[in-house]
Copies of this chain bind each other. A is one copy, B any other.
Amino acid sequence: MSTTKTNPGNYFEDFHVGQIIRHATPRTLTVGDAALYMGLYGPRFAVQSSDAFARTIGYPSAPLDDLLVFHTVFGKTVPDISLNAIANLGYADCRFEKPVYPGATLSTVSEVIGLKENSNGKTGTVYVRSTGADEKGETVLSYTRWVMVRKKDEASPAPEAVVPALPEIVAPEALAAAVPAIDVSRFDTNLSGSPFRWGDYEVGEKIDHVDGMTVEEAEHQIATRLYQNTAKVHFNQHTEGQGRFGRRLIYGGVVISLARALSFNGLNNAFHLAAINAGRHVAPLFAGDTVYAWSEVLDKAELPGRSDIGALRTRLVAVKNRACADFPFKTAEGGYEEGVILDLDVWLAIPK
């Protein structure tokens, strides 16, 4: 006798607009997770790295890396949203709303905000707004994501198409919520690794982050399990060896974290990832590949009511197996250049 107590995941026709999904498993993040995050990516931003530095400027202690929070909140949605997904199409309107400290327990709730069946009748796009909250129920992070999901039964009728209006960028008013008032006079730029503050960056400026980091199978698997992200393609060589790429695909979040960690070299004081305006995984990354990154300053914004910090809007581009001195991005035809793997539009908070 065999039964189906395992999770088959949801198919396109299992979703409806307005549907609320409370995801398993709540997760307490600790200094243990922070250490492992450090070992996996090597970030060096002083605020997240040092309790003493964080306290000096006004935090109660070092907050967890914003992307550790993001990956944890995101990972919970995988079994319900993207187990039968063909592609992760994009992110938008991702806002970090509260600092998260070791000891916080995060859980995630998603609402289906859009559905659009594809003309082939076999797949459709599901839009979800996911919200991560801490153990007090307070939102720490929210973002919109859309994925292409398979239909289980191609004969099932198409739902009414609903495509949500998404902001192109997160408004500056929403950016400072996760940063307490800081005492910039005590922000020691020797310790933070660079003298450059908000005023030193110019719109249009491009920064080659120089360093490259080669990724191993063990590293991305440990990272992805740490987030309790269960997407099969990251872990199973037995099946992936016979699949599309012949090998395991690295979780896109690993690319984001590596690019962000590499971006320290040139954006040392931009200690807080305040928002992800838009994001796209342009090409896959595999073990043995080397990740490089570069940034372009797209915009600058004052933050309402904040004289301590300002915001830089940057494009963070990750590239594989190719240095970024020439800032590889798009071809004349408008496609991405060979090697580009990530195109992320973000807001960063940085002392003024």
Within 8 A of B (CB), among A94-145: 102-103, 105, 107, 135
A205 to B4, CA, bound (A): 10
CB closest chain-B residue, reference A196: B5
Which residues does chain B contribute within 8 Å of A193, judged by CB atoms? 7, 24-25, 79
Q: CB < 8 Å: which of B1, B7, B45, B327 contacts A265?
A: B7
The answer to whether B6 and A26 touch across the interface, beta carbons within 8 angstroms, is no
Q: With A35-B32, A38-B228, A53-B105 as known contacts, state yes or no: A24 contacts B190, CB within 8 Å.
A: yes
The answer to whether A50 and B26 touch across the interface, beta carbons within 8 angstroms, is yes
The answer to whether B6 and A266 touch across the interface, beta carbons within 8 angstroms, is yes
Q: How far is the CB of A54 from chain B (nearest CB, A)?
A: 9
A179 at the interface (CB under 8 A from B): no
A330 at the interface (CB under 8 A from B): no
The answer to whether B3 and A25 touch across the interface, beta carbons within 8 angstroms, is no
Q: With A36-B36, A193-B24 as known contacts, state yes or no: A105 contacts B1, CB within 8 Å.
A: no
A230 to B41, CA, bound (A): 11
Which residues does chain B contribute within 8 Å of A210, judged by CB atoms? 6
Q: CB < 8 Å: which of B26, B236, B321 contacts A52?
A: B26
Binary per-residue interface labels of chain A (228-249) against chain B in the complex, 1 for a CB within 8 Å, 0 otherwise = 1010100111110000000010
Binary per-residue interface labels of chain A (184-227) against chain B in the complex, 1 for a CB within 8 Å, 0 otherwise = 00000011111010001110111111111110111101111110
Which residues does chain B contribute within 8 Å of A135, judged by CB atoms? 51-52
**Number of A residues, CB within 8 Å of B:** 89
The answer to whether A2 and B214 touch across the interface, beta carbons within 8 angstroms, is no
A33 at the interface (CB under 8 A from B): yes
Which residues does chain B contribute within 8 Å of A87, judged by CB atoms? none
The answer to whether A39 and B225 touch across the interface, beta carbons within 8 angstroms, is yes
A49 at the interface (CB under 8 A from B): yes
Which residues does chain B contribute within 8 Å of A51, judged by CB atoms? 28, 103, 105, 135
Q: CB < 8 Å: which of B2, B36, B192, B213 contacts A235?
A: B213
A266 to B38, CA, bound (A): 33
The answer to whether A24 and B44 touch across the interface, beta carbons within 8 angstroms, is yes
Q: How far is the CB of A241 from chain B (nearest CB, A)?
A: 9
What are 9 A-B contacts with C-beta separation under 8 Å? A3-B205, A5-B207, A32-B34, A38-B225, A42-B225, A44-B228, A216-B217, A219-B221, A237-B290
Give me 12 other A-B pairs in contact (C-beta within 8 A), A6-B265, A24-B268, A50-B105 excluded. Answer: A2-B207, A5-B194, A24-B44, A25-B192, A27-B50, A28-B62, A32-B35, A36-B39, A44-B230, A51-B105, A214-B248, A218-B222
A binding-site residues for B, Cβ under 8 Å: 1-3, 5-7, 22-28, 30-36, 38-42, 44-46, 49-53, 62, 79, 102-103, 105, 107, 135, 190-194, 196, 200-202, 204-214, 216-219, 221-226, 228, 230, 232, 235-239, 248, 265-268, 288, 290, 321-323, 327
